[in-house]
Structure 1
Amino acid sequence: MLPPLTLVLGGASSGKSGVAEKLIERSGLDKIYVATSQIWDEETQFRVDRHVAQRGPGWQTIEVPVDVPDALAPCTNGQAVLLDCATLWLTNVMLGDHDLETAQASLLTALAACDAPVVVVSNEVGQGIVPENALARHFREAQGRLNIALAAQADCVLHVLAGLVDVRKGEMP
């Protein structure tokens, strides 16, 4: 049984999306995929296509680069939601010149109010070198703050490294 909010953290290409998809699959609930990625180039399209193929059939996909709270509002307890991913959502918020604090507060409120269990995928970006440019440093700090807030609110936090799952908070769903 999925808890109300699960956070799946890991580095890029660590296997976190696959872990999150399996959690949703095992729930037996209707599968909702909230996609925050925007297709900017062929590489991004390739990654999106790979994720769609990996998920397989039976998912309802909602594409929302920024307005995740609006996508979560109609979800019901007969559904399970995969939000993939908070990192791309944050990128879209920052590059779209949205108010970061307001957007984050709205996201956290929407997650708490959602009737469906939600699994959020997010990148851990703070374990590498300090970025050389100001925008990248600002993003790293904002992503760290977002992950801290998500982890504090989550009932379960999983860390994925090389496809291996470590339970950091709560119990494995």
Structure 2
Amino acid sequence: MGKVIYVTGGARSGKSTYGEKIIFSSGKKRIYMATSIAFDDEMKSRVEKHKVQRGEDWITIESYKNLKSKLIEKSLGDEIILLDCLTNMVSNNMILEENINWDEVEQFKVDEVENKIKNELLEFLEYIEKSDHTLVVVSNELGMGLVPPYALGRYFRDICGRMNQIVAEKSQEAYFVISGIPMKIK
């Protein structure tokens, strides 16, 4: 039976570092599922810092979609997996996979995009639950700040919030990280 551990917090809260700590303490073979795309120098620098922080003893999967099939391609069976991060997965699926004017989008299209992301996530989590894997999901908590002043930001916040709820519900453990300090919430 697979296990899901959810780690959330604000930007630069230490959530990825805490997720990696969970992974390192497991003693299992490690898989890193990177959902971000380094479009600019700032993101390239962040990716490099994460690589150095993690070390080299990881299987890396770079993808924000088709997570189940990508994992099956690389997995040997009983690994511990770090998905970092769910927030990037959502944004890439919203922006890169869709050609939408988010300022003038109809609600049915927003629902369609969200359902596509939700189905991808549920399929992946159901696979994990039936496997021998442990999955650590890192995600930003976006609901504690200001309401974004533009439509895309509000849709993104709302969809991320609902995806975070799904992972939290399916998790056996959940942590909220503030200033590098993890608090167990489940």
TM-score by shorter chain over 0.5: yes
The match for 1:33 is 32
**Unpaired segments of 5 or more residues in structure 2?**
99-111
1:70 counterpart residue number: 69
One-letter code of the match for 2:150? N
Q: Which amino acid aligns with 2:24?
A: E
| Deviation of 1:111 (Å) | 1.7
Among 125, 134, 148, the residue aligned to 1:131 = 148
In the TM superposition, residue 107 of structure 1 has moved relative to its aligned partner by 1.5
Give, in whole Å, the separation in 1 of the partners of 2:177 and 2:76: 28
Task: Give yes or no for contact 2:68–2:127 (8 Å, CA) kept in 1.
Answer: no
Farther off after superposition, 97-106 or 137-146: 97-106
Q: Which has the larger radius of gyration?
A: 2
Residue in 2 that maps onto 1:163: 180
Determine the structure 2 residue equivalent to 1:82.
82
> How many angstroms apart in 2 are the aligned matches of 1:77 and 1:111?
15
2-side partners of 1:129 and 1:29: how far apart? 40
SS at match of 1:73: helix
Q: Which one is further off, 13-22 or 109-118?
A: 109-118
Q: CA–CA distance in 1 between the matches of 2:142 and 2:44?
A: 22
**In the alignment, is the contact (CA less than 8 A) between 1:6 and 1:119 conserved in 2?**
yes
Other-structure match for 2:92: 92
Contact 1:32 1:81 in 2 (8 A): yes
The residue identity in structure 2 corresponding to 1:137 is: R
* Alpha-carbon shift at residue 110 of structure 1 (Å): 1.5
Q: 2:171 aligns with which of 133, 154, 157?
A: 154
| Counterpart position of 2:139 | 122
User: Aligned residue for 1:13?
Assistant: 12
Indicate conservation of the 8 Å contact 2:66/2:120, yes or no: no
2: CA distance, partners of 1:69 / 1:20:
20
Greater relative contact order, per chain length (Cα 8 Å cut-off, separation 6+): 2
What RMSD in Å do the two structures reach over aligned CA positions? Answer: 1.4
Match of 2:116 in 1: 102
Q: CA deviation at 1:101?
A: 0.7
Query: What is the TM-score of this pair, normalised by structure 2?
Result: 0.85
Q: What percentage of residue pairs aligned between the two structures are identical?
A: 38
Q: Tell me what 1:111 maps to.
A: 125
Structure 1 runs not aligned, ≥5 long = none
Aligned length: 167
Report how far residue 102 of structure 1 moved.
Answer: 2.5
